[in-house]
């Protein structure tokens, strides 16, 4: 398999270029060869997108919407095929790829396809005049994706951008080059002009070139805080617009009146879904002292029943981490937690066999870990680990837990479990986080905005809020009378 550039409606040949091998996280065997985009590729992509933009921006919203809706149908018709590609690329269970990743990408195309015809400005009735506004497209936008949800992230960026009349160049993570190409094929097959959605492969050098290119009007990144700061600084030199969806160290607060079974379910979902490789994960689980012991018993019992194994097996619940290097990084955090005095209650080791007794030592597997006896100042409670590592902390009062939950540079997400709906809202309103849940966690329907506070990012993805990220407002004043002038 070759993972090359998708420019102007076709895959390039990728000859005589820098390449590397894309590995399957489940066994570290080769999936194919990835071709780094050259400066010439990037220039060709920009020119192709500019050409497509000139055509696409003249289409009505309804015409643009029909293309996006058809692209959504194409993805849905290929869900099993693309889900397997996603699972092999990322290492996540096939059940997740089928239920969430491909479906969420199709949902985004469908939602913004339906919204495209309704994008409109405002009318102002003035004295002897009137005014109106026009939300106009920005031009060529660049999306830079992460490796944990490759096709979902690509669609979350492409769908609102295209609905608003823009073109997009998308760079997937160098670790997951595959499914952005499937999205590009679907968009082209749906009737988009060649070049409307181009894909360029590569590492951070390609992302830097996109940020620097004067022909690109906006950058949308999903990635780490450090990468986000570099892109923000680079975009500032040309006053490019940016959307940054960055990391988090989010709190999940469990009050004494919460439904414990549901709260444990949420804690598992907030820490071990996609091997814990989710930016919004609630990795600091604060549990009220009155229910701490019973919560911990149920949490440990259910964690130890999680089926770790072959991601392609429909019964697997937790797959392989993205790479050997990332697995080793997560293991270093686990060792740091133990060295700091936290108790590793369960997990945190490399299993030799999966839940069916199959050898998995060649893959990047890690048994889900729970730390107790944690302190807010510990590295495992402060830094984003991005792996299946849960830190559980005890609290006594509402005021105390709010202060501790907010004591972080991040602000992507937060969750509260309580049967007191007044307290639920009261606490959520005081938490410094952009995406919050009451009595659930990590549910991200396309209809509601997603994004963070503080160092967790700028701007919002999804919902009507995303349309504002991909348009610029033009104000028009129309005189109906004579011009009054003192001259």
Catalytic residues: 157, 245, 279, 461
H or E segment and range at residue 251: strand 251-254
Instruction: Please state, as a whole number, how many other Cβ atoms lie within 10 Å of the Cβ of residue 365.
Output: 27
Cα distance between residue 338 and residue 165, in whole Å:
52
Q: Say if residues 12 and 43 touch (Cβ distance below 8 Å).
A: no
Q: Say if residues 62 and 114 touch (Cβ distance below 8 Å).
A: no
Cα distance between residue 63 and residue 66, in whole Å:
5
Instruction: Please state, as a whole number, how many other Cβ atoms lie within 10 Å of the Cβ of residue 164.
Output: 27
The answer for 195, left when phi > 0, alpha when psi is -120 to 50, beta otherwise, is left
Sign of CA dihedral 212, 217, 223, 226: positive
Q: Residue ranges of the alpha helices (H) in 24-163?
A: 39-56, 61-77, 79-90, 94-96, 102-115, 150-163
Residue given tokens 């936008």 in the structure block: 141
User: 358: exposed, middle or buried (C-beta count within 10 Å: 0-12, 13-18, 19+)?
Assistant: exposed
For residues 195-222, b (16+ Cβ closer than 10 Å) or e, as one string? bbbbbbbbbeebbebbbebebbbbbbbb
Cα angle 411, 415, 419; round to 5:
150
Contacts for 162 with CB less than 8 Å, ≥ 6 apart: 56, 64, 67, 68, 112, 168, 187, 192, 196, 197
Residue given tokens 């500019």 in the structure block: 50
Cα distance between residue 69 and residue 102, in whole Å:
14
Length of the chain as a residue count:
487
């Amino acid at each position: 398999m070759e993972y090359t550039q998708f420019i102007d409606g076709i895959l390039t040949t990728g000859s005589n270029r820098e390449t590397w091998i894309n590995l399957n996280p489940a066994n570290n065997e080769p999936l194919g060869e990835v071709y780094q985009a050259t400066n010439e590729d990037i220039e060709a992509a920009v020119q192709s997108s500019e050409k497509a933009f000139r055509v696409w921006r003249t289409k009505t919203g309804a015409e643009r919407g029909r293309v996006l809706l058809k692209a959504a149908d194409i993805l849905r018709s290929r869900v099993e095929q693309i889900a397997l590609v996603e699972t092999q690329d990322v290492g996540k269970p096939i059940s997740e790829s089928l239920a969430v990743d491909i479906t969420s990408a199709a949902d985004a195309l469908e939602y913004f396809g339906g919204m495209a015809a309704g994008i409109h400005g405002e009318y102002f009735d003035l004295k002897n005049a009137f005014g109106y506004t026009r939300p106009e497209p920005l031009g060529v936008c660049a999306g830079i994706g992460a490796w944990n949800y490759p096709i979902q992230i690509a669609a979350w960026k492409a769908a609102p951008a295209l609905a608003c009349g823009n073109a997009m160049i998308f760079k997937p993570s160098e670790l997951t080059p595959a499914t952005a190409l499937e999205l590009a094929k679907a968009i082209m097959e749906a009737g988009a002009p060649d070049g409307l959605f181009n894909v360029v492969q590569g590492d951070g050098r390609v992302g830097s070139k996109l940020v620097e290119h004067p022909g690109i009007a906006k950058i949308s990144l999903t990635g780490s805080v450090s990468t986000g700061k570099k892109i923000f600084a680079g975009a500032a030199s040309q006053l490019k617009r940016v959307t940054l969806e960055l990391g988090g160290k989010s709190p999940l607060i469990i009050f004494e009146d919460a439904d414990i079974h549901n709260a444990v379910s949420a804690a598992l979902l907030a820490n071990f879904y996609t091997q814990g490789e989710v930016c919004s994960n609630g990795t600091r689980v604060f549990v009220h002292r009155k229910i701490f012991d019973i919560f911990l018993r149920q949490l440990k019992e259910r964690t130890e029943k999680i089926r770790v194994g072959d991601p392609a097996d429909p019964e697997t619940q937790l797959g392989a981490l993205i790479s050997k290097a990332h697995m080793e990084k997560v293991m270093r955090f686990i060792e740091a937690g133990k060295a700091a005095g936290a108790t590793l209650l369960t997990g945190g080791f490399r299993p030799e066999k999966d839940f069916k007794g199959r050898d998995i030592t060649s893959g990047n597997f890690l048994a889900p870990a729970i730390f107790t006896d944690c302190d807010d100042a510990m590295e495992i409670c402060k830094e984003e680990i991005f792996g299946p590592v849960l830190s559980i902390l005890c609290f006594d009062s509402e005021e105390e837990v709010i202060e501790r939950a907010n004591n972080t540079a991040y602000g992507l997400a937060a969750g509260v479990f309580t049967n007191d709906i007044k307290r639920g809202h009261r606490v959520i309103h005081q938490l410094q986080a952009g995406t919050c849940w009451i009595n659930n966690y990590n549910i991200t329907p396309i209809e509601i905005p997603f994004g963070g506070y503080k160092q967790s990012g700028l701007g919002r993805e999804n919902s009507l809020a995303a349309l504002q990220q991909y348009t610029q407002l033009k104000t028009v004043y129309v005189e109906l009378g004579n011009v009054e002038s003192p001259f």
